[in-house]
Structure 1
Amino acid sequence: MTAKPLLTALLPLVEDLSRELPEAERYRRLLDALRALLPCDAAALLRLEGQWLIPLAVDGLSTDTLGRRFKVDEHPRFQQLLASPAPTRFDSRSPLPDPYDGLVDGLHEQLHVHDCMGCPLMIDERPWGLLTLDALDPDRFDHLEPGALQAFASLAAATVTVAERIQHLARRAEDEHHRAEIYRQASGQQHQPMIGQSPALRRLQEEIELVGHSDLTVLVTGETGVGKELVAQAIHRASSRARSPLVSINCAALPENLVESELFGHVRGAFTGAQADRRGKFELADGGTLFLDEVGELPLTVQAKLLRVLQSGQLQRLGSDKDQSVDVRVIAATNRNLAEEVRAGRYRADFYHRLSVFPLHIPPLRERERDVLLLSGYFLELNRSRLGLDGLHLEADAQSALLAYTWPGNVRELEHLIGRSALKAWGRRADSRLLGLSARDLDIEQGVDMPMAAHQSPSPGTPPLPFSPDGDLRRATDSFQRQMIEACLTRHDHNWASAARELGMDRANLNRMARRLSLK
């Protein structure tokens, strides 16, 4: 390649260095220039984070690639690219599996990448990530000059540096990593990323960043399965309390007589079985954040005591008359309309207003456009690793089916669907190391007929759930009740309090009925 074409390809990137561009647009232009300089079928820019390679931009690869997280030690080609400071090309006969097999965009059949090369991006003499080029023609890169890719990689590194400085990423990266490590140690949970590029998710992320730097109480609302706990974790990581613990409690999972003890602690002898003093969740979260999940299920008596803690930072352990001070930031979450609950007299207005200082609504998956494909890519990569496969991807009809579906169970439903479908496909084709999931593998319609039907009004004279009476009225009634309760529990992820509310029953009565029907 002569100097003139090289200069022509690199000049727009040099001009972009002096322009303030969104990170995604800057990286898209980078790959456009790369493919103009070095013709290929696909190109990708990946950032190295610990032991993971995270795609920041792809050109010529399927959309779900952006949602994937590639573990370096599971992909030997990535290992070799990172280990060499110079560009590396893999022989077309190389036995090493290619991470992009089956992911080249616009191809409906399952094809292997035949010509592959790439190089690391070095910033401050350390590997920042990778640039990769792939082609379906095994001879595509025969006449390519490695120096051209090396020159491009140097300019790409400058582009990345500018992008990070503009957005203050370089200064914050080490601190964010440290805070995430403290959080994982304190909570015992793994940090899960918020995957997506839709305007709805970007608005949510902007609000998380905004409120994260404050100490305001946040009320997170949204449908079942949208990821309310994930948002709570993101708010905590963005706050000045990130080095302190994030303590979570599911208010709906606690028996009513134990809620106070769990929240405020108790002293020895406070009730039968209290054989020693015990700290509650507020004390455990002192200096950090307390996440109250399903806060709409709290009894009115507990709401009053919580209100005092939120207002004054003072609490009393159950059975004690001694006040204790705590410094806790509260994030609450619910899928209920608490304003409506207040109007109905089932929720304290003062407690609701204290919780909702900063309301934060999570959009359902059906309003997040093509984020479903990025999330699918993330879950596909997790399942590929669990099943020990070389590749796991979505066929074109599967992508269309995912985009057309309304996702009543949101992200949680998608996660379970991908895991279930991957396992079934692997079981049917256990001899294959590279699997593509079709719409038939996803089996979306069959898997969601019951939950979808439960949200629709039955026609007159038609039971909302199918059952086959055998002539015995009692057995037919029990069968109907059992199916209805099971379907309701499935919709609410086995949250008995939420199921009881939908069924119009007291929670204790539902528990008694479930035991009679052998559901417990």
Structure 2
Amino acid sequence: MLKESLIADLVTDLPAAIRLQRLVSTLANYFGCGAVGLLKLEHEVLKPVAMYGLASEAQGRRFIVAQHPRLTTILASRNPVRFDPDSELPDPYDGLLLDQPGEALPVHDCMGISIYIEGRCWGVLTLDALHAGSFSQTTILELQSYSLLVEAAVRMTELEQSNRDLRLNHQVNDQPFSPTSQRYELIGQSKALQQILQELAVVANSDLPVLLLGETGVGKELFARQLHRSSARANKPLVYINCAALPENLAESELFGHNKGAFSGAHNERAGRFEAADGGTLFLDEVGELPLVVQAKLLRVLQNGEIQRLGSDKTKLVDVRLVAATNRDLKEQIKNGEFRADLYHRLSVYPLPIPPLRERVEDIPLLAGHFLELNRSRLGLRALRLDSEAELTLLSYNWPGNVRELEHVISRAAIKALSQGASRSDIVTLGSTLLDIDSQVPVATHHVINEPLQQTGISLKQAVQQVQLQMIKRTLEQYDGNWSQAAKQLDVDPSNLHKLAQRLGLKA
């Protein structure tokens, strides 16, 4: 039955994400386990591709293989690996299974297998259960058999992605993902983020200047890096410069360079950032902070592609793609005489507003999971997670500092938990009180539902359940009781939606 179901999905024309999600759901139902994860290996880091039965924040985690002995063991073998229920090795998903009754429980039965595509290790498939004895010798042999179909589904998905990139003329970044590059990864699945990424992919193939607009902390630098990685200049330098940190008397030299003796202290000639970025991309962050005299010279570079070092009467041609960013209202600065109108029009050939975090509510759990895993690694913890009340608190906050503020809130809460006596060898759970943010106005809730909670004086956990119940009911009404359409609208796996509805008492 399982084989027929997997084969049916292979021959059916399905979007890649849906095919892989159905794959893990089918495996979970057949093996009767609490969670299944399909993770892709990228330079010793495993990134979730499809998951079933795990908290949504698990999708945002990036697992450094060397820090997770179970994942290391699975990758080291071509055969299925099962860990004894009394194994002392921590599981990457400890405390993250949805089946746990409101508490942080460790995984008690686990098995996994490495996935190979054309002789290369692609990643791993993991199966986890809260109950010891869920997996037997028979299930291990079955996993070995069905892994070939899993590899076929992954191979098909990879081929479709490659064909799509070719059709869209996307550039493939051949720089491997690494632990140090996690800070530059854009994480999220919201429609707002996907729309921005789609626009970036299109404009990346041109050499048009791009102006990134957005509040402090939305991650404008990350979007600039994504633009560069997606462009034909991906293998050339990306040079970053913070215009707000440039002293006015050195800004010109920093951008365009100088000759020896050009000014007091110029003991040697020095190339500027434009020369360093020749052939690549120059990212001017906080461009609204540039002095007016430098703005005039910057305009000349945009018009003619020429720079002139301080102290030199010679010009030099440079081939640089310019990306600028600001959190200021440049049009208002133009009115105040603080920014040149002609430079603004040159920079904003393609203006791209970056949505604030409060408009990407669906991405908050994934981003939180990403920062939880980073702090788990930094602090040497066995496991670090949020309880349901803390998650609602994050979803209910307005985030004036955006993603940067979320990162700091998670880091601060993890340190507080340790200072209050949490053990590094236990599953550390962050409650809402540790987050230390004011979330009295449930902003995120109002985005998705327009009716008040039925009771007052209830706990945050009860409030979460009420919101979930109301959203499911309203979505089912919208689609005339069609659970499949409701799951698609709610961005939830259909099997997970049925389980959640049962837990909330919505269905028998």
Counterpart Cα distance in 1 of 2:182 and 2:161: 26
For 1:178, give the aligned amino acid.
D
Cα distance per residue 1:451-470 (max 9 Å; x no partner):
xxxxxxxxxxxxxxxxxxxx
- The equivalent of 1:458 in structure 2 is none
- The equivalent of 1:167 in structure 2 is 161
> Retained in 2: the 8 A contact 1:68–1:378?
yes
- The equivalent of 2:109 in structure 1 is 115
Deviation at residue 10 of structure 1 after TM alignment: 2.9
Deviation at residue 121 of structure 1 after TM alignment: 1.3
Pairing 1:410-449 to 2, within 5 Å after superposition: 410-433=402-425, 434-445=427-438
Q: Equivalent residue of 2:361, what SS? A: coil
TM-score with structure 2 setting the length: 0.82
TM-score with structure 1 setting the length: 0.80
Question: Does 1:281 pair with 2:273?
Answer: yes
For 1:148, give the aligned amino acid.
E
Cα distance per residue 1:317-339 (max 9 Å; x no partner):
11221111111110000001212
For 2:6, give the aligned amino acid.
L
What is the RMSD computed on CA atoms of the aligned residues? 2.2
Identify the range of structure 1 (390-399 vs 15-24) with the bigger mean alpha-carbon deviation.
Answer: 15-24
**Residues 177, 331 of structure 1: alpha-carbon distance in 2 compared, 3 angstrom cutoff:** closer
Q: Equivalent residue of 1:301, what SS? A: helix
Cα distance per residue 1:2-40 (max 9 Å; x no partner):
xxxxxx223233233234433321111111110122111
1:397 to 389, 392, 395: 389
> Retained in 1: the 8 A contact 2:34–2:99?
no
- The equivalent of 1:158 in structure 2 is 152
- The equivalent of 1:477 in structure 2 is none
Question: Does 1:240 pair with 2:232?
Answer: yes
> Retained in 2: the 8 A contact 1:120–1:129?
yes
Question: Does 1:202 pair with 2:194?
Answer: yes
- The equivalent of 2:312 in structure 1 is 320
> Retained in 2: the 8 A contact 1:198–1:368?
yes
For 1:437, give the aligned amino acid.
L
Cα distance per residue 1:56-90 (max 9 Å; x no partner):
11111100000001111111111111112111111
Q: Equivalent residue of 2:269, what SS? A: coil
Counterpart Cα distance in 2 of 1:223 and 1:230: 14
Question: Does 1:22 pair with 2:15?
Answer: yes
> Retained in 2: the 8 A contact 1:77–1:97?
yes
Cα distance per residue 1:164-198 (max 9 Å; x no partner):
111117999xx8453458xx9xxx97762110000
Counterpart Cα distance in 2 of 1:180 and 1:331: 23
2:364 to 365, 372, 381: 372
Identify the range of structure 1 (85-94 vs 101-110) with the bigger mean alpha-carbon deviation.
Answer: 101-110
Question: Does 1:56 pair with 2:49?
Answer: yes
Pairing 1:34-433 to 2, within 5 Å after superposition: 34-105=27-98, 107=100, 108-142=102-136, 144-168=138-162, 176=172, 178-179=174-175, 192-433=184-425
Cα distance per residue 1:402-427 (max 9 Å; x no partner):
11111000000011111111111122
Instruction: Name the larger-Rg structure.
Output: 1
Deviation at residue 143 of structure 1 after TM alignment: 6.6
Count of residue correspondences: 434
Structure 1: 5+ residue runs without aligned partners?
1-7, 449-520
Counterpart Cα distance in 2 of 1:358 and 1:171: 22
> Retained in 1: the 8 A contact 2:210–2:351?
yes
**Residues 48, 37 of structure 1: alpha-carbon distance in 2 compared, 3 angstrom cutoff:** same
> Retained in 1: the 8 A contact 2:42–2:176?
no
Counterpart Cα distance in 1 of 2:354 and 2:15: 24
The percentage of counterpart residues that share the same residue type is 54
For 1:256, give the aligned amino acid.
E
